[in-house]
Chain A
Amino acid sequence: EADIYQTPRYLVIGTGKKITLECSQTMGHDKMYWYQQDPGMELHLIHYSYGVNSTEKGDLSSESTVSRIRTEHFPLTLESARPSHTSQYLCASIPGQLTDTQYFGPGTRLTVL
């Protein structure tokens, strides 16, 4: 069973606030991903990391930033939240090859008022 955690599970905040969504995994996986998903839509890759100190932007442009200082931790930060950031954010990791199973966390449902 995979152990990948996301906090908070739900967050409602006002416009202009700075927020950090946490993602941690205890499996020692090198490759980690952040996806954004709106209801009825596909998962869009917004950031990924293939190891410590390595981060890249995904296909979907995002105003968020990420960091990877430790293997197990891949937080996502929004410096100034806006209503357009309202979405579900999903974190995932894989052990090595893409043909390995990609494990997902439970997600953070973000609402910006």
Chain B
Amino acid sequence: DQQVKQNSPSLSVQEGRISILNCDYTNSMFDYFLWYKKYPAEGPTFLISISSIKDKNEDGRFTVFLNKSAKHLSLHIVPSQPGDSAVYFCAASASGAGSYQLTFGKGTKLSVIP
């Protein structure tokens, strides 16, 4: 059973508009969440993270929102740029339980149209 779900396999957005990528999780032990970006034939690169003690974390054009009661997080990219076109993975860990392992979603392929 998938513990981290990204229900949208793909998303297309016009350049300059907002991209919103969603992620749901089922494991209540998860307390640390990350977003990774992956280009074809490359390894994932870290984008932004959020701890469960926060509900928002911002880094430049990227903002992650966490709704613990709904077990939902989202990544907002504003404004979207063509270079943002990639697959975005949501990941989670139970760091408070001493786990050094990440559980990943299946990813959402973002296409930013010029």
Residues on A with beta carbons closer than 8 Å to the beta carbon of B2: 42
Complex Cα–Cα for A43 and B41 (A) = 14
Considering only residues 32-66 of chain A, those with a C-beta below 8 Å from chain B are 33, 35, 40-45, 48, 50, 58-59
Question: A76 — which chain B residues lie within 8 A by C-beta?
Answer: none
Number of chain B interface residues as a range:
20 to 34
Residues of B within 8 A of A58 (CB): 101
State the total of A-B contacts with C-beta under 8 angstroms.
Answer: 68
Checking A59, A98, A105 against B43 with a beta-carbon cut-off of 8 angstroms, the contacting residue is A105
Interface members, chain A 7-28 (any B CB < 8 Å): 9
User: Does B44 interact with chain A (Cβ within 8 Å)?
Assistant: yes
Docked pose: A109 CA to B4 CA in angstroms: 24
Chain A interface size band reads 20 to 34
- Give Cα A90 to B107, complex, Å: 15
Determine which of B36, B43, B102, B107 lies in contact with A40 in the assembled complex, contact meaning CB atoms within 8 Å: B107
Instruction: For the complex formed, measure the closest distance between the CB of A34 and the CB atoms of chain B, giving whole angstroms.
Output: 12
A101: B residues at CB distance < 8 A = 46, 49
List the interface of chain A (C-beta within 8 A of B).
4, 6, 9, 31, 33, 35, 40-45, 48, 50, 58-59, 90-92, 94, 97-99, 101-107, 109
